[in-house]
Structure 1
Amino acid sequence: MEVAIPITNELEQRISDAFCIFDHHGDKRIDIREVGTVLRFLGCVPTEQEINEVIAATEMEESAGDVHLSKFMPHVAQLLAERKMEPASPEKILAAFQILDPEQKTYITKEYMSKMMMEEGEPFTQEELDEMLAVAIDPITGNIPYEFYINQLMHQPANSIYELAARYWTLKPKETKRGSKWAGSRISIR
């Protein structure tokens, strides 16, 4: 028998809708390999470590390899309220590009950007790199005019997931494992 999962606000509805897109069996479960995809679909920018932390916190004990919406939704809502996995600001992105452009040419070559994205920090997959370059490269010069690219990245729809989290989520005391840093905490977001 399926237990209904109460959805009380737009934030929970958006999380549920994103989750259910990847629920291929209609049983309010997704494979743990889909967690990062769901988070990115919501507009989050998680690191692999953050994805693994969400999996560890939400994976079903009785069905290893699966995450149920009833655990995922409140956990992710809390992370969003704490502004975790939030995309970098335009100023931070511009500063990063300027570090990569010490000669102040205002562009980065496709080759240099590809090398940086595949070899530094948390490497992109080839598919992720191809998707990024498709948007970033100026078809005339073949380079990445980064200020233009940043402007493309910064187009945000009204009611981003983080705005919704700030509007709707109040962290409630939860039953937590003894010693958890959230045990007994109460945070209110306005």
Structure 2
Amino acid sequence: MADDKEREGTELVVTEFHKKIKDAFKVFDPEANNTVDVREIRNNYQVASKGELHDLTAEVLDPSKRGFLTKEEFVKYMTEEGEPFSQEEMEEMLSDAIDPESNSIRYKDYITMMLVDDG
């Protein structure tokens, strides 16, 4: 019985997570067909600022506002949610993202590193 309640709680969290992700990307999916064309984003939308990306990441992936994700959390989100990354993609991403001392990803620093400032 406790397992059922725990499972229901987990399902609710996952459902809420999916809703937040869908809501965040509605602006990039005007046809509501659950696809995003990167060329369309580049041509038609102003790319979010570093601050906006940080806020979105914190809201969706780090609701307790710790400022980081553990390696395990990061891998889980990137391989189990949405379009999963391959093992090779994950290893490449982790090599850039992971802080070897804390074994965590400080997403504000990672977002800053990943964004190219056009000037």
**What runs of 5+ residues in structure 2 fail to find an aligned partner?**
1-33
CA separation of 1:87 and 1:128: change in aligned 2, threshold 3 A? farther
**What runs of 5+ residues in structure 1 fail to find an aligned partner?**
1-46, 52-75, 159-190
Match of 1:96 in 2: 56
Does residue 113 of structure 2 align to residue 128 of structure 1?
no
**Pairwise mapping of residues 1-190 of structure 1 onto structure 2 (< 5 A)?**
50=37, 79=40, 82-83=43-44, 88-99=48-59, 100-156=61-117
* Percent pairwise identity: 35
CA deviation after TM superposition for structure 1 residue 102, in Å? 1.8
CA separation of 1:107 and 1:82: change in aligned 2, threshold 3 A? same
Give the TM-score of the pair, scaled to structure 1: 0.37
Q: Which amino acid aligns with 2:57?
A: F
Runs of 4+ aligned residues of structure 1 deviating over 3 Å after TM superposition are 47-51, 86-89, 155-158
Greater Rg by CA: 1
Give the TM-score of the pair, scaled to structure 2: 0.56
CA deviation after TM superposition for structure 1 residue 115, in Å? 0.4
Q: Specify which structure has the higher proportion of helix.
A: 2
- How many correspondences in the alignment? 85
Cα root mean square deviation, aligned: 2.9
Q: Which string of whole-angstrom CA distances, capped at 9 and with x for unpartnered residues, describes residues 29-86 of structure 1?
A: xxxxxxxxxxxxxxxxxx97638xxxxxxxxxxxxxxxxxxxxxxxx6xx577337x8
